[in-house]
Chain A
Amino acid sequence: MPLLDLSFEQLPGVTVIAITGEMDATNRGQLESYLEERGPDLREQVVFDLAGVPFMDSSGLHVLLACAAACDERGGAARLAAVQSLPARLLEITEVVAYVPVHPTVADAVAAASAVARNMTARAPD
């Protein structure tokens, strides 16, 4: 079973999760438990760095969408960055691109996410 390489980086108000490997049904469970254990703050901004993902199927997409929906319900947001061509085509066919922000690079995504995070902090009462 090809496992994914997963890493986690916490910036102020932004969590960056980098995934490396082919995302499919065989490692869906691995990604789900990772997200559950590392528990990115869903009230904040979550960036998925997909530069190392040459292929993604509907199972992989399901995990990303579930995370995006959970963020959405709690006031945060998920973003996708550095998507390779095959997964990009999947995002297009499934029309995910119309609802989840997709950025060309991780730096772009983090910049956009940080701007939102700063805005949120500025508005928060405490």
Chain B
Amino acid sequence: MRERQQPWREADAQAVVRSLLEHALPALGATAVALWATGPGASLALAGYAGFSGEEADRWRHVPPGVATPAARALAERRLIRYDTAPKARLPTIGARHVGGGRVVAPALWGGRILGVLEIGWPHRLPSWPPQTERHTERQIEALAELCARTLDAGHGGRAGPAPEGVVPEPARAELAELADTLPDPALVLLPRLGPRGGLEGFVVEHANPPFADASGRHRAGLEGVSLAEAYPMAAGLAGAAEEVYATGRPARLSHPPPGPPAGRAELAVTRHGVRLLLVWRARDHAGRLPALLAHAQRLARIGAFEEDLLAGEVTWNGEMFDLYGLGPRDRPFPLDRLSDHAHPDDAPAVGGFLRTLVGRRRPAAVAFRLRRPDGAVRQVRVVAEPVPGAGGAVAGVRGVCQDVSSQHWTEVALAVTRDQLAHTERHAAERDRLALRLQRAIMPPSDDAMDSYGLHVAVRYRPAREEHLVGGDWYDAFALPSRRILLVVGDVAGHGLQAATGMVVLRNALRGLAVTGAGPARLLAWLNLLARHQADRVTATVVCGLYDPRTRELRWARAGHLPPLLLRGGGGRELPLTRGAVLGAFRDPRYEEGRLRLRPDDTLLLYTDGLIERRNGDLERARDRLLATATQPAGGLDHRLDHLLTHCGSSEDDDTCLVGVHLRPE
């Protein structure tokens, strides 16, 4: 019995699973396969099967929502799950009696949505593959699951795959917009935007209902057609919730939605309708919004956020918190006073001190400790929290953020070890350079040769300072964004040593993350300034940031206290204008101005740090003219030009130097 017509073609699904059983599974030693299609409320319907009996298949036609099966678990946890031996009795599944060995279940993901679950059965215990092979096998199974997902998707409007660039069939649009308009609460309708390869790139606001007005006073007209990430770049939780609901079809309710969208509305419900999402905000009288700053930070560094109502004993975590702590979305978040149980025993005193300051002395507190996750992994995390005052000066709750600082932590450790090595051995200067260079390279992988496919040749050079024996705060980045624009960055954090290197890592990673929102370079620098100001140790840094669109050859760029790029064209060269843009980390609301420039074939653009110009003697104008003269000398290609510049320019001894060159292929 079926409630409604399923969107996939039964014959297709059946053909695909048969083909899997015949051609793909024997290599794995598996003997049975089932393909489940997700239905309303996260129910499952058997779309195809092979290697199981028809009788079994009839029993398993439909799995209602809430029944725990291996496939339902893969859907809920959105990941591949392996059962080495037959799943226990409390996790019943198809054909357990006849195919009584191990199982693997994998979500069938296509276009960002889980359309079904692929279940593979073995007659015996799962073979124990070596780790390398196991990863490979899992990837193979995921690819098979994706193949199945395409089959399940074929019924949606008869497309062979997800619609390119956000084109979707029309029917549900008016219906959902009308529904939103009847609601008394603010509501948005979101439309997924899919990339050319079918991956989910984000959401676009398709419709905002009349009651909708956000914290910055924007009404519906200003939002429709805007991407969610661009409209609310600081509201990470929002995008995360939308992605989750979109993928699983399971409705979600956020009791602490991020600020930005409707102010003073403290509850958000997200539901999926066809390919669209409906977001409805509801008022709640005791609004407990995370302060804007925390939400900023969250967006910038994928930070987990938590809030704990000490009176009601309620704990709320955002999605990142679950990820950080290695827990599934269905696990229960634990309260702060249980934090010590999850910390490395050596760090327990530090955690205890943190809690005494926070709850006992009612003051903001921070702690860094080693977190032991249920999967056995150990992560270095940092927790920053503040008390929430209640009536009569008592602490009503605490809220804060948690960040995995492992990569930063290990960078620091690596730097410290190198420094010690250098301090205790008298090595040759070249050896020191090599070490510093290796470190810098570890932080900044060499630019991607794939840039060539965008009609660009990008080359980068980094030369560490000789005097300091230490990596400095210079950095570069050249990175192709999902929008296919190229992010080009050169920056310089004041100072040398660990602090500068750490600041550099933070800013570089943040800029990469922020750039994915599609914002322009001036806005990116304004956000980066905010971040630099709110680091534990205020960071002073200069940056020049460009976004190059290979399709139009347009370069949009902005600077924050940094020297403007040089443009080499037709044998001559000039410095781009000194646009408005103050050094990062110093001022409250500096204005960043955007420069625009259409590049021509054979143009070369140079971004550099001031190590490249002789600074202590003479004047900067003359130094820059010398640099331009050297840069415009004929050279056999971009790489030679950069090497030539490094050899002939700059003080070389007293500062690091970073140089990024971009050359457009001649016509």
Contacts and interface: CB of A to CB of B under 8 A. Distances in A.
A88 B509 CA distance: 32
Contact of B494 (A61, A85, A95, A99): A61
20 contacts: A25-B496, A55-B616, A57-B610, A57-B615, A57-B655, A58-B495, A58-B540, A59-B496, A61-B583, A66-B538, A86-B615, A93-B562, A93-B578, A94-B542, A95-B561, A95-B581, A95-B582, A96-B582, A96-B586, A99-B587
Interface of B: 468, 492, 494-496, 538, 540, 542, 561-563, 578, 580-583, 585-587, 590, 610, 615-616, 619-620, 654-655
B623 to A, nearest CB: 10
Interface in A24-45: 24-25, 28
B577 to A, nearest CB: 12
Contacts of A58: 492, 494-495, 540, 542
A70 to B, nearest CB: 9
Among A28, A58, A85, A96, the one with the most B-chain Cβ atoms within 10 Å of its Cβ is A58
B615 A95 contact: no
Contact of A65 (B578, B580, B583): B583
A22 B586 CA distance: 22
Nearest to A66: B538
A92 B580 CA distance: 10
A93 B616 contact: no
Q: SS class of chain B's interface: helix, strand, loop or mixed?
A: loop
A94 B582 contact: yes
Contact size class for A?
A: 20 to 34
Given A93-B563, A94-B561, A95-B561, A65 B620 contact: no
A74 interface: no
Q: SS class of chain A's interface: helix, strand, loop or mixed?
A: helix
B495 A96 contact: no
A85 B619 contact: yes
Given A25-B496, A58-B494, A58-B542, A96 B583 contact: yes
Nearest to A28: B495
A66 B610 CA distance: 21
Contacts of B582: 94-96, 98-99
A58 B561 CA distance: 10
A95 B616 contact: no
Nearest to B493: A58
Contacts of A68: 586
A35 B654 CA distance: 25
Given A65-B540, A95-B583, 5 more contacts: A58-B492, A89-B619, A94-B583, A98-B590, A99-B586
A69 interface: yes
Contacts of B562: 93
Contacts of B561: 93-96
A118 interface: no
A22 B540 contact: no
A89 B492 CA distance: 17
Contacts of A22: 616
